Each structure stands twice: as structure tokens, then as C-alpha cells.
Amino acid sequence: MVRVISQETYDEVVRENIEELDMTPEEAIKEAIEQFKAQDVDLSNIIKDLSLQKNTDDITCCIKRLSECAKTAEHEHATPLLNKLKAELDKDIARRVFAGKNGAYTTLLDVITSCKDEPLLLRTALKTMTSLMTGNPDLLDDAGVSLQKSLLDANHSDSQTLQLILKWIRECCIKHEINRQKIFSAGILENLKSVLSEKDASVSVVKEVCVVLRTLTLDDDIRHNYGKAHEHAAAIARQTLFTLTELLSTHKTDKIIVGEIMLTAASLIVRNEFCQEFEDAGGLQFILDVFTDYPEVEKINWQALKLLKNLAGNDDVKAHIVTSGISPLIIYAIKRLKSSEAVVTAGLACISALTLKSPSNAGVFYDCGAVSVIIDAIKTYPKSANVIQQASWAIRNMSVRNNQEAREFIAYGIEDLLNDALQFHGENLEDDIKAALRDLGLKVNLKERWTGKNRAVTNE
């Protein structure tokens, strides 16, 4: 188990090394770090550099003076103090944790509250608050959530300030389930929906809104076994999915915002009806246009493939995806961008999803040359667990009930490739690879997972 210590404990060991062992500051710090690492102590939250005392003094001094500025409403000295504090906070997580323990969060809340009517100072304060909470979201409390909501209500037409508010909210949501629930419960969705519905909303603001929507659907807090990612995604989809789909057409010439919207839609499509709603709004045609308009753009192709894979969760939409002519475009995208592991993985996942329990769809992919693409992917990325897993799933789904066509995999030497992958990846991908070999009708040594205890089976 990884252990943690306080900043004070670390400082004391460094001082002891200097005073009692007559080490130089450099030697004392090096020795302290090696000592704690040998004990499996996590030092990521510890300030370790030589100018320790000066840096901590700078941070505490800034916090104290900013607190005075907030109390007296005398803001002429606040901007340089905020910039100085932000510069320290941006150095590492250790300084952010130290500042949080010394009242930086409460002080910055007071500063932001006291300068709501001063846009320039407010923006500087928001930047500093975001720096403080980057990777350090535990600081957020009910007062902070309330302030975020009031700022959104008051700054919906100020695009620069609105972007900074949204960035602060985004950092609060990453790896923190309770923060996400609090922010969502505060009614922030209404503000985000309103921003998306504005005809003159800037591209930068729309992008930040999309990022916040996605962070509200995350399930990345290991401290909580059960979150509300699905509930949030469903609620957001009901209110924003149609608007997001319309925005795809509005911003179709901007590849950055198009990618952000597709990625957001992919995170929201968690039910059958949302897949259908996206298709009904013309989403499939737009994805087809993306593949043809941006054939060489790695990121946007990856985003389109990810969205297609999620849309395939609806059987009717899955059939329409294949009949619309997107299947060859998926194959071409993987071929063109085969140097991108992310695109290859997403493309194989897309093939797997579209051919699941659909022999007719699998037949289309055979005709499109999917076999050679999958074989090439395995040869190109033999050490990538993600690629091998997705390739194994795609092979399985394409082979079931397509025995004649599956022989093409065997002709390309898939047996040796999968056995080599099995030997390299071992237990991590054993079930996936062996299932692919089994469904191809090839030799595979299956393990008996459970055996009886030599007792007769009775039926009472």
C-alpha cells in the first residue's frame, strides 16, 4: 500500500539531514527523497525543491494579502498578487495542495465574490482558482458550487468570463463524483443548454460547454463504486442532444468544434432512443460527410469512429449505418491513418459493434476488405493490448454464422498471429484471443474453470 506524509514531516527530515548529518541542501533533499521512496511513500503532493522556504512563504504571503484585499474591497493590489500566486500554483500539485491547506480556496472565493462587477479582475481570479483546483478538486464546497451557479447566471453574455467559469467547473468535476453530483443538482444544465441555444455563441464557449457536459458524465472517481454517470448522461441527452446535432451543421467547417460535438454526443448516447434521435436529426449523414471532408485529420476521424460505435447500440440505427454506405469509409479511415493507434483501435471497435449479432453486416465488411485491415492492424500493433482485444472481438463477430467467409482470416495467417499475441499478452487477453480462435474453428486449448467436488448431483 502506498503511504503518504505531510509537508511538515518531509521538511523536518530535510532539516535533520542538514543539521545533524551535515549535508548540503541538495544532498539532504536527495537523501530524504530516496529514504521515503524506499518506504513506498507517495511524494507527489510534497514540495521538494531547494527554494522550499521561499516558495511557501510566497504562497502564504499572497494568500494573506489577498484575504485583506477581499475584506477591504481594495482591489488595486489584487491583480499582481493573483498572478504571483497562480505562477506558484502552476508549478506542481504539491504547491496547490499546500496552498489549499493554508486557506487559498476560501480566500479566492472571497476575492471572486468581491470583484463580480470588475471583469478584468474577476477573470484573473478565476484563472487562479482554476490553477488551484487542477488535480485538487476536493476543495470545492457548497459555497463554491453556489458561486459557480451565480456567476453563470450573471455572465451568460460575457464570453471571456464564461469560458473561465466553465474551465473552473470542468476541473472540479474531474475524478470527483460528489462534486459532479453537487454541480449537476445546482441546475447548471439549464445554463449550459441556454448557452448552446444562443445563435451568436462563440466557438470557444461552445467548446467549453461540450467539455463540461462530458465531464459531468465521467465515472472516474475510484473512491466511489457507484456514481450517477448514466443518469447525468441521460438527463443531458434529453435536453441537449438535438441542439448539439444541429450545431454540427452550423459549425461544419470548423473541425475542432465538430470533433468536440461528436465526442460529446458519443458520451451522451447511452440509450436506444438517443441513438435514434441522433439519426433522425441527420446525424448519420453528417458523420458520412466528416469522413469525406476530413480524410487526413486523425483526431476528427477518431471522434467520428467513437460516435459510430456508440450509435451501433441501437439495432435499427446499426443497420442504417451499414446501409448508408459508411462501412467502406470506416475501412478507408483505418487504412489511411494506420499510423495512429487510437484511430485503429476505434475503427476495430466500430467494426466489432456493427457486426455484433449481424451476419449480414459482417458480410458487408468482408466485401469492404475488413479482413486485410484487421490482419494489418495486428501485425502493426502486436504489443498493443487495446488493438489486439478489439481485433479479437471483431474477428469473433465477423466469424459467427459466417463460416465460409471466415476462411479468409485463416488464409491470411490469422492463426499464427493470434497465437503469437496469446503468448505475448498472456492472461490479460487470453479469453478474448481464445474465443476468436474458437469461433474461427481453429485449435485452441480451453481451460476448465470449474470442476465438481466428487459429490453426486441431487434434485431435491
What's the mean pLDDT in 192-215? Answer: 92
Q: What percent of the chain has pLDDT over 70?
A: 95
Confidence of residue 32 (pLDDT cuts 50, 70, 90): confident
What's the mean pLDDT in 369-384? Answer: 96
pLDDT 10s digits, 394-448:
999 999 988 899 999 999 999 999 999 999 998 999 999 999 999 999 888 877 6
- Residues paired with 4 in a beta bridge: 42
pLDDT 10s digits, 115-126:
988 999 999 999
CB distance 348 to 342 below 8 Å: no
**DSSP H helices in 312-440:** 315-323, 326-336, 341-355, 359-368, 370-380, 385-399, 403-411, 414-425, 430-439
Torsion of CA 236, 137, 167, 47, to 10 degrees: -160
Identify the pLDDT of residue 51.
Answer: 46
- Residue 221's nearest CA partner among 269, 274, 177 is 177
Confidence of residue 53 (pLDDT cuts 50, 70, 90): low
Confidence of residue 458 (pLDDT cuts 50, 70, 90): low
What does each C-alpha distance from 245 to 192, 193, 268, 315 come to in angstroms?
15, 13, 12, 20
Cell numbers 486485410: residue: 372
pLDDT 10s digits, 63-115:
999 999 888 877 888 999 999 999 999 988 888 988 998 999 999 999 999 99
Mean predicted lDDT score pLDDT of the chain:
90
Q: What percent of the chain has pLDDT over 90?
A: 68
Q: pTM for this structure?
A: 0.84
